[in-house]
Structure 1
Amino acid sequence: MKKLMVMLVLVLGVAFAGKAQKVPTAEELAKKNIEELDKRLKLSPTQRSVVYNYAYELAKEQLALYKKQQAGTYKDEDETKFYKVQNELNKNIKAVLKPEQLTEYNLIVEERLSGIDPNAKKKKKKKGEEEDKVVGIEGLKSGSNNP
């Protein structure tokens, strides 16, 4: 009976671990990417279709690289190849966009490279308002980096 219980717990543990580690498909990655681009760039239906195809190709390359890393067959040349494909697809996407969309697209790419989350809320200061500074021992306790 103990062996049966241990075996059941083991099987359930593996099943839950497998669900927690679900890797998105290329379609899911491309869809998420195109939704953000469409929201920010206001793509036409034609642009959306073309850019989706490029995003899908990039997602396939990204997943292939991830699978190689997981399998332990990853080489530096694989990463170089991925970056070449990424740069080529970025050029192709830029060719499809209008000049006003291109400016916003460059900003999106810059945000992604720097790791900035576009959905993060930014606290705006009103004109003439200074940042609250905590001084003395309270400033040290709070871990604030304010000068």
Structure 2
Amino acid sequence: MKKLILVLVLVMGVFFSGNAQKVPTSEEIAKKNIEEMDKRLKLTPTQRSVIYNYAFDMAKEQLLLYKKQVAGTAKEEDETRIYRLQNEMNKNIKLVLKPDQIDEFNKLNEERLSGIDPGKKKKKKKKGEEEEKVVGIEGLKSTGNN
């Protein structure tokens, strides 16, 4: 779970550094998370509302940590608190979900943890075709070339 939080914070950090002129709000982050979950889990309106509240609270805490990191005032206790909050949020979300949704939620979390982008389809290679090598910073950014 620590890795999941670290990945989320890193993704947010990369997003924020690439979009330095506009930092997304807690509402925008929570909405994006809910849209992805809704697409994958087929949430009911009640589930969507409850989970949005959890995601919004978590996004506020993550933005607060991000601001502390940028200012150089973040402490290890802050990160530990975020890990604990993430674990609590995941537990609470699972209480709202149906059993089949929990399985998909676990898959979604594993994909997020491993850096898999569910929006991107992996290209299949034809027989005899070599994988395209990506070098430099682009090679480091991509997750499929490990």
Q: Given the two structures, how large is their TM-score scaled by the length of structure 1? A: 0.72
- Secondary structure of 1:118's aligned partner: coil
**Aligned amino acid, residue 77 of structure 1:** E
**Once the two structures are superposed, what CA deviation does each residue of 1:76-98 show, in whole Å capped at 9, x if it has no partner?**
11000000001000000011000
The equivalent of 1:114 in structure 2 is: 114
Describe the shift of the 1:67–1:32 C-alpha distance in structure 2 as closer, same or farther (beyond 3 A): same
The equivalent of 1:132 in structure 2 is: 129
The equivalent of 2:32 in structure 1 is: 32
Indicate the percent of aligned positions where both proteins have the same amino acid: 68
Equivalent residues in 2 for 1:34-113, closer than 5 Å: 34-113=34-113
**Aligned amino acid, residue 52 of structure 2:** Y
The equivalent of 1:5 in structure 2 is: none
Q: Which has the larger radius of gyration?
A: 1
The equivalent of 1:15 in structure 2 is: none
Describe the shift of the 1:44–1:131 C-alpha distance in structure 2 as closer, same or farther (beyond 3 A): farther
**Aligned amino acid, residue 48 of structure 1:** R
The equivalent of 2:5 in structure 1 is: none
Structure 1: gaps (5+ residues): 1-18, 135-141
Structure 2: how far apart are the matches of 1:45 and 1:121? Answer: 29
**Alpha-carbon distance, 1:72 to partner:** 1.2
Structure 2: how far apart are the matches of 1:83 and 1:102? Answer: 20
CA RMSD of aligned residues (A): 2.0
Structure 2: how far apart are the matches of 1:124 and 1:99? Answer: 32
Structure 1: how far apart are the matches of 2:128 and 2:93? Answer: 40
Structure 1 runs (4+) deviating above 2 angstroms are 129-134
**Aligned amino acid, residue 99 of structure 1:** P
Describe the shift of the 1:111–1:131 C-alpha distance in structure 2 as closer, same or farther (beyond 3 A): farther
**Alpha-carbon distance, 1:70 to partner:** 1.1
Aligned residues: 116
**Once the two structures are superposed, what CA deviation does each residue of 1:33-91 show, in whole Å capped at 9, x if it has no partner?**
00000011000000000000000011011001001111111111100000000100000
Describe the shift of the 1:99–1:124 C-alpha distance in structure 2 as closer, same or farther (beyond 3 A): farther
Q: Given the two structures, how large is their TM-score scaled by the length of structure 2? A: 0.73
